[in-house]
Amino acid sequence: MSDTEGHSMGEGRGQGPLPPPYGIPGATPLELRSSLDCWACAVLVTTQNLLVGVINAVLLVAVFSVFLMPAAAMLFYGFLCHSKFLKARGPHCVHLPNDASSTALLVVGFALVIPLLVLALAAYCRLARHLQLGACFVPYTKAVYRNLPAAQYYSLGCCALRSSESDKVWV
């Protein structure tokens, strides 16, 4: 059958077989939304996905700032109190008697950045998985098809997969 015959037999937009995972044999065929309804749903889906993305970004910044605060404080005081970087020593640098102590703060601060980044990333991933933030993202196919089954809709995301107690990963 040629491409033009398929369109003449009703396999055009919304009539023909759908690609996996939506084209399940025996399931009710999906019906397309009207163009205005599709546009309005797409705006709502975009708004929800942007809101979830902003919540994820705020959570990421909060977790990383808490975990990286010790290294940031060491680097801040190391640069602030070293004579090569700032000529005038302030009153907060009284407890650092010489440049060697400022250099020690800089070395330890830089050495702590990578392990603290790994810990912060592990904490963020655990928190995001616990809050199931990935399940809040809505795919755009929900805006295109009117009767998309919820089982197929939520099984597309990686966060919808439930892990058992034996599937724990140690970081």
- pLDDT digit string (tens) for 56-96? 999 999 999 999 999 999 999 888 888 787 666 667 777 77
At 158 the pLDDT is 40
Q: Cis omega before residue 21 (within 30°)?
A: yes
Q: Which of 40-54, 122-136, 139-153, 155-169 has the lowest mean pLDDT?
A: 155-169
Residue 136: which residues within 8 A CB-CB, separation 6 or more? 48, 52
Contact 109/60 with Cβ under 8 angstroms?
Answer: no
For Cα atoms 90, 93, 97, give the angle at the middle one, nearest 5 degrees.
130
Quick: pLDDT tens for 98-147. Answer: 888 889 999 999 999 999 999 999 999 999 889 888 887 777 777 777 76
At 137 the pLDDT is 78
At 87 the pLDDT is 66
Q: Report which of 63, 66, 65, 72 is spatially closest to residue 110, judged by C-alpha positions.
A: 72
Mean pLDDT of the chain: 75
